[in-house]
Amino acid sequence: MNAFFNLLKLAWVQLIRHRVRSSLTILGVASGMFLFTAVETLQRSLAKATAATAADTTLVVYRENRFCPSASRLPEHFADEIRRIDGVREVIPVKILVNNCGASLDVITFRGVPEGLLKKFAPEIEIVAGSEGAWSKRDDAALLGETFAKRRGLKPGDQFDAAGVTVSVAGILRSPFPQDNNVAYVKLPFLQHASKSGLGVVTQFMVRVHAVGSLESVANAIDEQFRSTQFPTDTRPEKAFFAETAAELIELIGFTRWLGVGAVIAVTALVANALLLAVRGRVKENAVLRTLGYPGRAIACLVVGEGGMLGLAGGLFGVGLGAVFLRWQSFTMGNEGQTLAIQPDAFVVTAGISAALLLGVLASLWPAFQAMTQPIVKNLRS
Amino acid sequence: MNETMIHCQAVSKSYKKGNTLVTPLESLDLEVPAGEFLALMGPSGSGKTTLLNLLSGIDSPSSGKLVIHGTELSGLSRRDLTAWRARNVGYIFQLYHLIPVLTAFENVELPLLLSPLSKRDRHARVVAALDLVSLTDRMHHTPSELSGGQEQRVAIARALVADPPLLVADEPTGDLDRESANRILELLQQLARRHGKTIVMVTHDARAAAAADRTLHLEKGVLLENP
């Protein structure tokens, strides 16, 4: 074990004293891992937004076949009828207004909700700045999701306008659900008025059910209730709804996986190339070490150690930078009014750094094999 | 009477170069007692370095018996031969072959890194080896900051640090000025006489060979005591 650590230390010394070569390689690895982090963050954010879990109890009721917020118009009074359906715990009518219905990285979504119902519907929401009282006092008051406020640099007392609506920031909220952290909650009548959709008209209903197992039966009951009305509905679990309405976005994000694969290949090739060059440049040094009694596996350990360290250093740098950048930018992808918060988490960071280390080690296997099998006598003469 | 350090019996070395079979050493017999400082001379291509490589265990004879310090090398696996080399042989190269990014201390420490010695013990041994070659004041210098003679002394310290009974030196003064060469030769004499090391030195230089206890000449792979 002592010998193993001494070899790693020797590999480390080789790295830090070949500064230019090491820095350039680490920079290359970091660039690849930055891209990998961005892609994995996208994939993971999407998975979180679309993968159903046992904790999901929310349904979204939309106008049948009209999945864009501007096209879905439902009577607000449907809420009372939905509330009476068996299995429904709470229902909230929501008017949605977005600044951009197409694909965008900076979507601003207003959610108009009845005053007093928000906390009842989503008790998990926490006000982290400002107050709910301040929200009640003004018609144009807005409670901003934490990520959205950070992205736009807004704080309580500020005013901003988007999609033709001007609001005053009353507070900042935090929710365990990333989508809630990317919207602005305003009062329903205010948004109905400001968006000129008219009072009594909402975009959708958010429905919370008592039991996870009743999601499907409640959804069917709701759609059945309004099937023969002028406004038939389409009710789905929130995540399934997202997956359906943001299908194009999901397709695009799915494509980015190939960029991640490309980044991984580039990192592997870069480290392998750097180490192959190092091994070729050190044929005599390795022959000297073999003469001093270093077995071939010790030489291989030196090369693999260098590869692992290059990968790890590049990974720490690239993944760290990627995570900080994505957190700082707080990107939100939007399509058809659906928003996807692109936020790196601990899993992405851990997976990225581990992947970089593993790639460094894998990339060094062939150079290590070459180094350990080089003939001593021939290389001493070279 | 001194024990025998090197016993070569009918040792031959052949290898293929293209379609031609080259035999740099043919049926060579050699006996070197422990503690002897032996010089090997001969023209280029006479097989001096090949013999040195066989004695140091970095190459294997094609035939014959080679016993060094009581171990028959031809019976060892590659792994065992490597371990044997680490314990028994110190190799001094003509061009020093120090690792350029390591300091003198780190270069000398290299043979000890795979040993079970503690860091403190390694440090003590490296300092003792550098002290023997009078270079403790330069231990933190890299090879580029040392003169040729100093580099060769670091290389000698590296060869000595694991305390091997056999030192092989391939033209250790070949790249040095006369003054530095003399200093290296004095050091090798001291290692043989005071520390009991067996030294086999290949040289082209008759003055360097004169420092040895005995000189042998290799001509076309055959050893001659008095050419």
Q: What is the ipTM of this complex?
A: 0.92
**Considering the domain boundaries, does residue B15 fall inside one?**
no
Give tens-digit pLDDT for A227-252. Answer: 889 899 999 888 887 777 777 778 88
Q: Could you tell me if A70 and A107 lie in one domain?
A: yes
- Residues lower than pLDDT 50 in chain A: none
Contact criterion met (CB < 8 Å) for A292 and B86:
yes
Q: Could you tell me if A285 and A359 lie in one domain?
A: yes
Domain count along chain A: 2
CA distance A121 to B125: 75
Q: Decide which of A249 and B122 is more confident.
A: B122
> Three-class SS string for chain A?
CHHHHHHHHHHHHHHHHCHHHHHHHHHHHHHHHHHHHHHHHHHHHHHHHHCCCCCCCEEEEEECCCCCCCCCCEECCHHHHHHCCCCEEEEEEEEEEECCCCCECECCEEEEECCCHHHHHCCCCEEEEECHHHHHHCCCEEEEEHHHHHHHCCCCCCEEEECCEEEEEEEEEECCCHHHHHEEEEEHHHHHHHCCCCCCEECEEEEEECCHHHHHHHHHHHHHHHCCCCCCEEEEEHHHHHHHHCHHHHHHHHHHHHHHHHHHHHHHHHHHHHHHHHHHHCHHHHHHHHHCCCCHHHHHHHHHHHHHHHHHHHHHHHHHHHHHHHHHHCCEEEECCEEEECCCCHHHHHHHHHHHHHHHHHHCHHHHHHHHHCCHHHHHHC
Residue pair B162/B112 in contact (Cβ under 8 Å)? The answer is yes
Give tens-digit pLDDT for A101-111. Answer: 666 677 788 88
Dihedral of CA atoms A66, A71, A72, A75 in degrees, nearest 10, equals -140
Q: Could you tell me if A123 and A224 lie in one domain?
A: yes
**Considering the domain boundaries, does residue B77 fall inside one?**
no
Query: Which structural domain range is residue A301 located in?
Result: 2-50+249-381
Question: How far is A278 from chain B, CA to nearest CA, in Å?
Answer: 13
Q: Could you tell me if A157 and A289 lie in one domain?
A: no
Mean per-residue pLDDT, B193-198: 93
Instruction: Look at residue A322 in the predicted model and tell me its pLDDT.
Output: 96
Chain A residues close to B83, C-beta within 8 Å: 293, 295
- pLDDT-based confidence at residue B1 (cuts at 50, 70, 90): very low
CA distance A92 to A202: 10
Burial of residue B157 (number of CB atoms within 10 Å: 0-12, 13-18, 19+): buried
Q: Could you tell me if A46 and A85 lie in one domain?
A: no
**Considering the domain boundaries, does residue B153 fall inside one?**
yes
Q: Does B1 touch chain A (CB under 8 A)?
A: no
**Considering the domain boundaries, does residue A80 fall inside one?**
yes
Q: Could you tell me if A293 and A331 lie in one domain?
A: yes
Contact criterion met (CB < 8 Å) for B86 and A13:
no
**Considering the domain boundaries, does residue A56 fall inside one?**
no
In the predicted model, is pLDDT for residue B226 greater than 60? Answer: no
Contact criterion met (CB < 8 Å) for B101 and A294:
no
Question: Which positions ≥6 away from A318 have C-beta within 8 Å?
Answer: A29, A30, A31, A32, A33, A34, A36, A37, A352, A356
Give tens-digit pLDDT for B20-37. Answer: 888 888 889 999 999 999
Domain count along chain B: 1
Contact criterion met (CB < 8 Å) for A291 and B58:
yes
**Considering the domain boundaries, does residue B142 fall inside one?**
yes
Q: What is the CA radius of gyration of chain B?
A: 17
CA distance A100 to A108: 7
Question: How far is A5 from chain B, CA to nearest CA, in Å?
Answer: 9
Contact criterion met (CB < 8 Å) for A377 and B59:
yes
| DSSP state, residue B114 | T
Contact criterion met (CB < 8 Å) for B114 and A288:
no
Q: Could you tell me if A13 and A117 lie in one domain?
A: no
**Considering the domain boundaries, does residue A277 fall inside one?**
yes
Q: Could you tell me if A97 and A223 lie in one domain?
A: yes
Mapped onto helix, strand or coil, the DSSP state of residue B6 is strand
Q: Where are the strands (E) in chain B, listed by range?
A: 4-17, 20-33, 37-41, 63-68, 71-72, 89-92, 166-170, 198-202, 214-219, 222-224
How far apart, in Å, are the Cα atoms of A82 and each of A222, A224, A235? 6, 11, 11
Instruction: Look at residue A244 in the predicted model and tell me its pLDDT.
Output: 75
Chain B residues close to A17, C-beta within 8 Å: 101-102
Q: Around A324, how many Cα atoms within 13 Å sit in the side-chain half-sphere? A: 6
Contact criterion met (CB < 8 Å) for B87 and A292:
no
Residue pair A275/A305 in contact (Cβ under 8 Å)? The answer is no
**Considering the domain boundaries, does residue B178 fall inside one?**
yes
In the predicted model, is pLDDT for residue B38 greater than 60? Answer: yes
Q: Does A19 touch chain B (CB under 8 A)?
A: no
In the predicted model, is pLDDT for residue B225 greater than 50? Answer: yes
Residues 269 to 288 of A: which have CB under 8 A from any B CB?
A: 284-285, 288
Instruction: Look at residue A122 in the predicted model and tell me its pLDDT.
Output: 79
Residue of A nearest to B101 (CA): A17
Residue pair B26/B62 in contact (Cβ under 8 Å)? The answer is no
Pick A293's closest partner by Cβ from B101, B106, B111.
B111
Mean per-residue pLDDT, B110-129: 94
Q: Could you tell me if A288 and A317 lie in one domain?
A: yes
Burial of residue B96 (number of CB atoms within 10 Å: 0-12, 13-18, 19+): buried
The enclosing domain of B192 has a CATH number of 3.40.50.300
Contact criterion met (CB < 8 Å) for A6 and B101:
no
Residue of A4, A288, A373 for testing the chain B interface, max B β-carbons within 10 Å = A288
Q: Around B42, how many Cα atoms within 13 Å sit in the side-chain half-sphere? A: 27
Q: Does A302 touch chain B (CB under 8 A)?
A: no
* Helix, strand, coil abundance in chain B, percent, nearest 5: 35, 30, 35
Chain B residues close to A292, C-beta within 8 Å: 85-86, 91, 110-111, 158
Question: How far is A17 from chain B, CA to nearest CA, in Å?
Answer: 6
CA distance B139 to A352: 41
Mapped onto helix, strand or coil, the DSSP state of residue B129 is helix
Chain A residues close to B87, C-beta within 8 Å: 293
Q: Does B2 touch chain A (CB under 8 A)?
A: no
Pick A2's closest partner by Cβ from B89, B111, B116.
B116
Residue of B nearest to A376 (CA): B58
Residues 81 to 140 of B: which have CB under 8 A from any A CB?
A: 82-83, 85-87, 89, 91, 93, 97, 99, 101-102, 106, 110-111, 113-116
**Considering the domain boundaries, does residue A238 fall inside one?**
no
Tokens of B150: 């100093």
Instruction: Look at residue A189 in the predicted model and tell me its pLDDT.
Output: 87
**Considering the domain boundaries, does residue A112 fall inside one?**
yes
Query: Which structural domain range is residue B41 located in?
Result: 34-59+88-224
- Lowest model confidence (mean pLDDT) among A211-215, B53-57, B199-203: A211-215
| DSSP state, residue B45 | T
CA distance A226 to B166: 98
Q: Could you tell me if A136 and A213 lie in one domain?
A: yes
